Structure 1
């Protein structure tokens, strides 16, 4: 397995089978152009089998932290440590970039995700509630 940071739209589109929905070229380009956006892709025999994305957030009184936005591993490659390796690689990047922490929101009943993140060094900080505002058809705005 080889983990590499995605640097081109072509790389992001080639990993499209791992996403929740088909990627859009314009959104992939915008992701790469945005400062603080990170996508790492795991390859086996040159084929994308997993990814993790992170987004830096900066606040005047806290500094910079990173959110692990999404982690996915293709079904045939699960339970091989790929998700944990991707997570650890993102943790390393967050440290290198001077982030004071990295966090991820996880549903309490998602045992696979909890196990993966804990195996990569994460600790539960207690309760967490996520509230959302939905706009329109459920697709992110293109701006």
Structure 2
């Protein structure tokens, strides 16, 4: 399946909200948040398209002047799961962070989300600092990081 990644547009927001609602039971991004991130200079909201449809999104935060970026969220629409969309979005956020001159990418993942944690570990993320009561429902998170500097 061919996947293309692009910046999100305002007209994508209804679809992004639908994906968000299906993917997460709490800690969801709101319509207002999506609107803000589409135009933000300190966030990159990327969408994956496959088969002519939006298959998922990734949200990357990057403060001005910082050396690191933070992957805030990745979500994939149910019909597109297990097709490499999450991996493609992760690779695109890493490329975006590098293009912005960032040398480190950090993220938090629910400790009980084995599928996502495995994706990140396979991509070279490590560090597994546990953060208690991180999510709205009290679930803990693991904080992972990856150096984006080339290893020559």
Please classify the TM superposition score into its range, dividing by the shorter chain length.
Answer: 0.7 to 0.9
Unaligned runs of 5+ in 1: 135-143
Q: Does structure 1 residue 32 correspond to structure 2 residue 34?
A: no
Task: Quote the residue 1:139 is aligned against.
Answer: none
Residue 111 and residue 22 in structure 1: after superposition, are their counterparts in 2 closer, same or farther (change >3 A)?
closer
| Aligned position for 1:122 | 124
Within 2, Cα distance between the matches of 1:27 and 1:126? 28
Aligned residue pair count: 128
Per the alignment, do residues 98 and 131 of structure 1 end up closer, same or farther by CA in structure 2, a change over 3 Å counting? Answer: farther
Q: How big is the shift at 1:23?
A: 4.6
- d(CA) in 2 for partners of 1:109 and 1:133? 12
Q: Quote the offset at 1:124 in angstroms.
A: 1.7
Taking only aligned residues, the RMSD between alpha carbons, in angstroms, comes to 2.4
- Residues 78-104 of structure 1: per-residue CA shift (max 9 Å, x gap): 111110110011000001101121111
Give the match for residue 14 of structure 1.
15
Q: Does 1:110 align with 2:116?
A: no
* Unaligned 5+ runs, structure 2: 22-27, 137-152
Q: Identify, as 1 or 2, the structure richer in strand.
A: 2
TM-score (norm 1): 0.76
